[in-house]
Amino acid sequence: MTKVALVTGSASGIGEATVRRLAADGMTVVVHSRTSRAAGSALAAELGGSYLQADLENSAEASELVPRVLTAYGRLDVLVNNAGISWPVPHDDLNGLTADDWRRLLEVNLIAPWLLCTAALPALRESRGAIVNVTSHAGVRPKGSSIAYAASKAALNHVTKLLAAALGPDVRVNAVAPGLVDTAMTASWTDAHELWKTSSPMRRAAQPSDVADLIAAVLANTYLTGEVILLDGGLNLR
């Protein structure tokens, strides 16, 4: 039977590249977004999958996303927690992030993936499936668009390892941790783009397809679990 993959935040950017890659690999893909309904629906129709809308900042909506997939398909083989939010705040601007900013970042970047993993676990155990969390090099290195963002991704990296230890051998859990990716969200981040062009061995930001290819490779390797794989063009070496 065809595998079913849910990729959150997949109407554009890394998520779009990922559903395109997984569909090309023969999976039935479920496209998700918070607001881009027209784009998500069109993409799902193009790929022969389906589209679901949910606001992952709302815990109730996040918790219902996987059951909606199971109602439609009766199975789930792959969960890619890609959806996330970020905006630049200088690390030395301690007043630039409010308590509500922290709560919002943690809700979307950490708590929602946890709720999705929890909801998906019975189906993934049955299919001996896999979870890939899209985190960030900011969760490994003292970098990132803001301290709160970096902290949310560092926490998700550690949750990845804890889940892998707890859920094996039935379910594999890994994380892909990109550096700067050339998307609409980062188009205005001129300083970051200049840093990658001048300081990383690859001399460029990643393309969404670079991340999608790594996610596909992680899913294809049925022995790999508990890893946080950096994909930052070698900037971590500097």
Q: Is 73 a catalytic residue?
A: no
Q: What's the half-sphere exposure (Cβ side, CA atoms, 13 Å) at 136?
A: 25
Q: Record the tokens describing residue 96, joined without a space.
A: 């630039």
Ramachandran angles phi, psi of 50, nearest 5°: -140, 165
**How many other C-beta atoms are found inside a 10 Å radius of the C-beta of residue 236?**
16
C-beta separation of 152 from 105 below 8 A: yes
Which of 51, 73, 149, 223 is the catalytic position? Answer: 149
CA distance 184 to 74: 34
- Just list the catalytic residues: 149
